């Protein structure tokens, strides 16, 4: 495993990701709560799958 780790991930990169993940987790938590409340009042259309780079040409 380690022999393939040829890229220096950068000092603090792990810590940054842990903090970002924690903050995003909180945002996501509140967002889903808010969406749950919103769903009582607003009818949301079904989410479309992203197809930006998908066209079969």
Binding site for another protein (CB under 8 A): 1, 3-7, 9-25, 27-28, 50, 52-57
Computed from CA positions of residues 29, 34, 37, 39, in that sequence, does the dihedral angle turn out positive or negative?
A: negative
Q: Least distance from C-beta 40 to another protein, angstroms?
A: 25
Q: Smallest distance from the beta carbon of 34 to another protein, in angstroms?
A: 15
25: enclosing H helix or E strand: helix 13-38
Q: What is the DSSP string of 39-50?
A: TTT--PPPPPPP
* Minimum distance, C-beta of residue 23 to another protein, in the bound complex (Å): 6
Q: Which is nearer to another protein, 19 or 37 (CB)?
A: 19
């Amino acid at each position: 495993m380690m022999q393939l780790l040829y890229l220096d991930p950068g000092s603090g990169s792990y810590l940054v990701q842990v903090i970002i993940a924690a903050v995003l987790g909180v945002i996501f938590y509140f967002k889903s709560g808010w969406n749950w409340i919103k769903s009582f009042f607003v009818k949301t259309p079904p989410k479309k799958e992203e197809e930006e780079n998908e066209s079969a040409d």
